Amino acid sequence: MGQQGDEALRRLLRNIEKFSEKYRQKYLERWSNEPLLTDWYSALRFFFNHTLYQGRSDVVSKKVEDAVFDVCDQTSIEEGFRSGDWGELENRLRERIGKKEDDNEGKVGKGADVRHVICSLEFLRTNIPHRNIVKYTVEGIQAGGLRKLYDDLDEIELIGDKIASFYLRDVVSLFNLYPYVPQGCLKLLFPIDTWVRKFIKEQFPALKEKSDAEKKAGDSRYL
């Protein structure tokens, strides 16, 4: 990459480290580990506090998050866990969420937000007997299952690569789970969006875009 490129990379890494610590202090330290591991509803709040924040301003996402928890109280969700019927809860969510261009009823968010919430709750019902998504994630990572967790999350509606990485990265950071992350899975904790990828390609042209074959081969010279 050359001396100039190496220095640019070092500066970039120092800035990433600095802003990473600021992020931890501002956003992660307000969460307490014990409630996240013992209270499934607190864990669900942490989960949706990540998965609902995408593709729009944080202000709008916060309104969607608030609307979700105004509707999804513990009693309503527990009834869905018992019955497997989310119809009533989904209807109530759609009364608050799913704004259209000509909507004057004060709704927020989009219809996909409702589908994401219901899909996530069904994931908890069918895959997690204790319903605690954070405990499930921590135990899965400790058992060496980061890749499986990533793939499972990616199957939930509205969760793509970036959001899965975003959530998993913060769980790993909050619970100091780095010793349980295999070297080959570290890349799963970096939520790189198109803008970050564009910046890296401009700053470090020696890094090339992977072809499908090269992605499978895991060549580190490529993005």
User: pLDDT tens for residues 148-202?
Assistant: 999 999 999 999 989 999 999 999 999 999 999 999 999 899 865 544 555 556 6
Nearest to 131 by CA among 216, 43, 64, 55: 43
Instruction: Report the distance separating Cα 80 and Cα 85, nearest Å.
Output: 5
Domain spans of the chain, in order of start: 1-30, 33-184, 192-223
What's the pTM value of the predicted model, to 2 decimals?
Answer: 0.80
pLDDT digits (tens, 9 = 90+) for 34-53: 999 999 999 999 999 999 99
Question: Residue 101: CB partners within 8 Å, gap ≥ 6?
Answer: none
pLDDT digits (tens, 9 = 90+) for 198-214: 555 665 566 555 554 44
pLDDT digits (tens, 9 = 90+) for 65-102: 999 999 999 999 999 999 999 999 999 999 999 987 66
CA 46 to chain centre: 10
pLDDT digits (tens, 9 = 90+) for 180-192: 999 999 989 986 5
pLDDT digits (tens, 9 = 90+) for 93-152: 999 999 876 665 679 999 999 999 999 999 999 999 999 999 999 999 999 999 999 999
Instruction: Report the distance separating Cα 62 and Cα 70, nearest Å.
Output: 12
Instruction: Report the distance separating Cα 179 and Cα 51, nearest Å.
Output: 25
